[in-house]
Structure 1
Amino acid sequence: MSAKPYRDNVGALLFNGAGLVLVARRADMPNAEGAAGGWQLPQGGVDAGEDLRRAVLRELAEEIGTDKAEIIAEHPEWLHYEFPPELAAGGFRIAQRYRGQRQKWFALRFRGTDADIRLDADPHPEFDAWRWARLEELPALAVSFKRAIYEELARAFAHLAAR
């Protein structure tokens, strides 16, 4: 077991009016073919003393360029995942400092339009593409070390998804 701590983190399931969820493709994590890959939900670190609800809206603004959302649900538990050793060995900075992430997940209703989603809003964008997906697709889109969390999120927030 690693002596490194978990990093506190918030995650967002951003639902549009049709009950679909925003997923974005990481620009810095290659897939098996060496191209950009790693589809994921917006997520990010929590600053010391930061309110979790404010943190998730801040992360949306930083990662996808908009905070036009309202929180509609919160997962009751903190969920954890561990980084695979090859991420730290490959220079992935966060994986060098932390063993994994301890996450508080929120479901949010998107109150904007697709034009409000701006991956280029940050000078160092984390994502290079985004799309709306069915909630049940999440586990298959996720990198393997996040898959169990995405399965739990799909179960826990199924009542908010499109039928």
Structure 2
Amino acid sequence: MSKKHKLPKLPYEQRPYRPGIGLVLVNAQGKVFVAQRVDTPGDAWQFPQGGIDEGEDPRRTVLREMEEEIGTPKAEIIAESKDWIAYDLPADIADKVWKGRFRGQKQKWFLARFTGKDSDIDLETEHPEFCRWQWMDLAETPAMIVGFKRALYEQVVAEFLPLVRAMDKG
């Protein structure tokens, strides 16, 4: 009988980034969807986001994650970020999340127009990630996020805010 050997975790600085997506979902009033995670204490809000499965296209991932996290696929992709944007988890959290294999996430971000009604949003999914949600101004979102993701949100806002403002006028 052979024993299973647990591979040692790589040192934090040598860990790769987990590939993922993020979604800025805009309603007809030009407000964006944010939700509070069930597993994060305090008043931290975030956009839907998630990991890309091996071989999965990021555009497919964003719609899959949207349905898994907020219960609806009703959206039309308007734009995607020019670059992949990364964030680092704090080292103590990185040792617990994703079995300690990653130092953070490298994400492709998408801007999408919500094509449904508020009643289409259902946080009671198979594996609930959020406990409540709201629509808010995109420019306000970096102040609502956990500190280690703030710089990423500032980049996303800088890239997508002109597009959201143009959608609101058109």
Structure 1 and Structure 2 fold alike (TM over 0.5) = yes
- Between the aligned partners of 2:86 and 2:108, the Cα distance in structure 1 is 9
The corresponding residue for 2:8 is none
Shift of the 17–95 alpha-carbon distance from structure 1 to 2, 3 Å rule, reads farther
1:73 and 2:73 correspond:
no
Query: Which position in structure 1 is the counterpart of 2:28?
Result: 17
1:121 Cα offset (Å): 1.9
In structure 2, the residue matched to 1:110 is 114
Q: Offset of 1:62 from its aligned partner?
A: 0.3
Cα-to-partner distance string for 1:28-87 (whole Å, 9 max, x where unaligned)? 0112xxxxx421000000011101110000000000111100100111000000000231
1:88–1:78 distance in 2 versus 1, CA, 3 Å? closer
**What is the deviation of 1:95?**
6.6
Question: Is the 2:94–2:102 contact (alpha carbons within 8 Å) kept by the matching residues of 1?
Answer: no
Aligned equivalent of 2:154: 151
Query: In structure 1, how many angstroms separate the alpha carbons of the residues matched to 2:157 and 2:58?
Result: 21
Q: Which runs of 4+ in 1 moved over 3 A?
A: none
8 Å Cα contact 1:26-1:38 kept in structure 2:
yes
Q: For 1:69 and 1:119, how far apart are their aligned partners in 2?
A: 16
Provide TM-score, normalisation by structure 1: 0.90
Contact 1:26 1:39 in 2 (8 A): yes
- Cα 1:78–1:28 change in 2 (3 A) is same
The equivalent position to 1:3 in structure 2, one of 14, 20, 44, is: 14
- Aligned in 2, Cα 1:107/1:134: closer, same or farther, shift over 3 Å? same
The amino acid of 1:50's aligned partner reads: E
How far, CA to CA, are the matches of 1:119 and 1:10 in structure 2? 19
User: Which has the greater radius of gyration?
Assistant: 2
Question: Which residue is equivalent to 1:134?
Answer: 137
Is the 2:76–2:115 Cα contact (8 Å) retained in structure 1? yes
TM-score where L is the length of structure 2: 0.86
Q: Distance in 1 between matches of 2:108 and 2:85?
A: 7
* 1:34 aligned partner: none
Task: Tell me the distance in 1 between the aligned counterparts of 2:124 and 2:80.
Answer: 28
Higher strand residue share: 1
- How big is the alpha-carbon RMSD for the aligned residues of Structure 1 and Structure 2? 1.4
Give the counterpart of 1:98 among 95, 98, 102. Answer: 102
